[in-house]
Structure 1
Amino acid sequence: MADMIFYVLSDSVGETAELLGKAALSQFANQDIKIQRIPYVDDEATMVDAFNLANENNGIIAYTLVKPEFRQKMKDLSAQYNIKAIDLIGPLLEELEQHLQEKPTLQPGLVHKLDEDYYKRVEAIEFAVKYDDGRDAKGILKADLVLIGVSRTSKTPLSQFLAHKRLKVANVPIVPEVEPPEELFQVDPDKCIGLKISSEKLNHIRTERLKALGLNGSANYAKKERIQEEINYFNRVVDKIGCDTIDVSNKAVEETANVILRKLKK
């Protein structure tokens, strides 16, 4: 067979059609076939141009057009020009519609909106890692949300959970011996939340944590006097910032996250 061109038409950027075309063509190692993408097809004239090109270049056409009228026009032109045109998405949409008992939205480019959502989530996760545990105070003013709390109040897992909701979260540990960063008092108090916990619960968590590490459960880190000192200092910092607090003493990370998301919606 003479060299040919494989034209892929799409009502969006055409990446999906091209990747599928490449995957199929890779199975034919003895053929030298070039793929040419024709994106953003939204009128009949572009379709006609594609068939004229295919006619001139011994071409074949594949398309991912979600609108039924466009798919029908491609079928009509295929018959008119006697050129093979393969509908890559129509049959799948029809089968899914029957199986799901739901009409498709028929809106071009939705897959790329989903991709955008994915990248926003990844960006938020990377942000949470970079600005975890007060590692870099510059993140405080860049964040959508700042979490503060004493050690073992689930700041890190909560930051990661909220990052999966596409929120850029920085968290800052509050320790009596360490002055909080200046940025913490510059941030909008509505974007800052203190994670409050009872001294009894914190004593239990820290004691168990020390035991898990093979350390003495009676170390200063888990002593009630030390814990109360930290909580008192935390309360002073919260008062200075003027931010809301959430009691996490008996809440799972998911519960706390839901409370925060409701607050942010308000």
Structure 2
Amino acid sequence: MRVDVYTPFLLSLLFAGAGPLIGGRVAPALAARVLAGATVVSAVATTWSLLLLAVTLLDAAPPVVADAREDGLRLPEPVPAVVAFAACVLLLVVAHRLYGAARAEYLTRRALRLLCEGQPTDTELIVAASSAPMAFAIPASAGSPGRIFVTSTMLGALSAEERRVLLAHERAHLTHRHARLCTAVTLAAAANPLLTPTRHTVAFLLERWADEHAAAAVGDRASTARALARAALAAGRREPSGRLGFTDRAVTRRIAALQADPPPRLWPLTAAVLAFGALTALGAADATGDLLRLLGPVLA
């Protein structure tokens, strides 16, 4: 317990540093799935470890102390009391961050759904008359299919072939349910801020995944890179948003990746990422067993 309970935090730190390395060397579809899964597991493990640390305060509760003295039992002290109190405070911070992240996701989804109001249910493409060049995917929700939102200005800035690229890119976000992966890593990073770099890596990989899908759909990586470059020039400099947009997330790096060969599926590197995620869960599970053995006689 004294060591295992801290293992998920250490591994999360190492995992966050290794995330960008994985993302640049493994096929984006595989890397995004693996990193997202490992990120969620790591966030759950670190939150559970905080809960375990907080639970150690039970042996200081007056009823527990009185019962232990009557039975002649020696109260264990798995961790210092100051660490347990700090864990309680951090759990409150985690709860607040999760609430804020979940609320932001909800408000973003609701704002995107409002853009679809009045549109036929069998219409995938929504073209809005706007001077702002934008294109992004609107994920499906209960009773509403996924949509592609594009402004007339963005369509006017692209050729017919480049429009095919844009639509294929956004369709990939809908087909592969990228919004779910994005939400999962966002909530994981809210629970464990050490995983924030990994969240950024996964968001970038989702765009790279859609780029590769579009390149395969049109059969030309060069034209896909040109379409991305032209759309980025039309959109200008914008901060990445909560949407899965065509011109968000490190456009220059995405264009450079399309001008090179598709990245390979490096299974050994992928297995290493999965091992990181599994080790965080194993550390939390081992700490749980240790705590139950320590407090079992006292709470029996």
TM-score (norm 1): 0.29
- Higher RCO (CA < 8 A, seq sep 6+): 2
Higher strand share: 1
Q: Which has the larger radius of gyration?
A: 1
